[in-house]
Amino acid sequence: MTRADVLTVRTLMPGDEQRFLTLRSAITHEGAIFAKDYPPGISWPEYLAIQDNARSGVGLPPGAVPYTFLVADLGGVLVGSSDIRHRLTEKLTRWGGHIGYVVAPQYRRRGYGTEILRQTLSLATGLGIRPALLTCRADNAGSRGVIHNVGSVVSTETIDGICSYWM
């Protein structure tokens, strides 16, 4: 990322629908799950209401935790996203943690993942999440590099290759 790049991690806004759909298409094209709470065909105001409710813990499916979905805005282009899960379940403690993040394929290896994680960690701290748990697969060199770039090292690694980081 260059000094001229100003990346902002923020919640979705009313004017983001087309940018969100473009980002969603780029990420899901490679088979990744993105914005799993977005049902195709929903109106944008309805989806924004789902996001508002999720932050408050309203209307969540059984076993789900309140969460904040964020997008990474680079001068009006959405280049990635992150999620903050406000608390952990047993399942999230093993896989998922407090924070997840993704960068669209065409924007990877430019430092955006590191900046997305830095800003998301700051927002998580503002929600009272400290320390925050992150997990990734041992063979995911890109994600491990991002986590190391923000100053963390592996806390534990399971026999099946899931690394946990407390930040």
The ranges assigned to domains in the chain are 7-129
Residue 162 contacts residue 138 (beta carbons within 8 Å): yes
- Do 98 and 41 meet the contact criterion of CB atoms below 8 Å apart? no
Task: Report whether 148 contacts 123 (CB < 8 A).
Answer: no
Q: So what's the pLDDT on residue 136?
A: 95
Among 7, 135, 140, smallest CA distance to 81 is for 7
What are 10's two structure tokens?
């923020």
State residue 144's pLDDT score: 94
Distance, in Å, from the CA atom of 102 to the CA atom of 117, rounded to the nearest integer, reads: 9
Phi, psi of 14 (to 5 degrees): -55, -35
Beta strands, E only, the chain: 7-10, 67-74, 77-85, 99-103, 133-137, 156-157, 162-166
66-124 pLDDT, tens digit per residue, is 999 999 999 999 999 999 999 999 999 999 999 999 999 999 999 999 999 999 999 99
Residues 117-135: pLDDT tens digits?
Answer: 999 999 999 999 999 999 9
CATH no., domain 7-129: 3.40.630.30
What pLDDT sits at residue 11?
A: 98
User: pLDDT-based confidence at 31, cuts 50/70/90?
Assistant: confident
Q: How many CA atoms lie less than 13 Å away from 150 in the CB half-sphere?
A: 23
**Cis-peptide, bond into residue 131, ω within 30° of zero:** yes
Is residue 85 within 8 Å of residue 67, measured between CB atoms? yes
